[in-house]
Amino acid sequence: MRSEMEIVFPGGARVDAVANGMVITTNQDGTAPAPFGLFLASIGTCAGIYVLSFCKQRGLPTDNIRIIQRMDMNPVTHMIEHIELDIQLPPDFPEQYKDAVVRSAELCAVKKHLENPPAFDVHVSVLQTA
């Protein structure tokens, strides 16, 4: 099954992704997330979706739950070498669900794709004019 996303250049430093009728705006001038920041945010927010779903299925409140994402960058390569997701739970969170919350966050599709990355094929094609 193949899906598609269109990347467009609306002007200035913007580079937008159009997918499923939604526009995801990025740029390098600070008025929207930079693409790499958006990529990093997708890791923590993806884990958050799974934690949210886990809690909602059990009627557990989520208003005092936070996920702190920490990244360690190699000073030579400038590549991120380690990502930590610290799921911060309120003191009254049921003990029996703590390990299960971690397991639910580990189901994140973004994390799974990083662990088993896809192959990339970058090429050029010429637009057909009408």
- Closest of 7, 1, 61 to residue 35, by C-alpha: 7
Tell me the CB-side half-sphere exposure of residue 15, using CA atoms within 13 A: 8
Domain-embedded: residue 19: no
Does the predicted TM-score (pTM) go above 0.85? yes
Domain-embedded: residue 20: no
Domain-embedded: residue 26: no
Instruction: Give the model's pLDDT for residue 129.
Output: 84
CATH classification of the domain holding 101: 3.30.300.20
Domain holding 78, by residue range, is 33-115
**Model pLDDT for residues 18-74, shown as the tens digit of each residue:** 999 999 999 999 999 999 999 999 999 999 999 999 999 999 999 999 999 999 999
Residue with tokens 């099954």: 1
- If one counts the domains in the chain, the total is 1
Domain-embedded: residue 22: no
**Model pLDDT for residues 76-85, shown as the tens digit of each residue:** 999 999 999 9
Domain-embedded: residue 127: no
**Model pLDDT for residues 88-121, shown as the tens digit of each residue:** 999 999 999 999 999 999 999 999 999 999 999 9
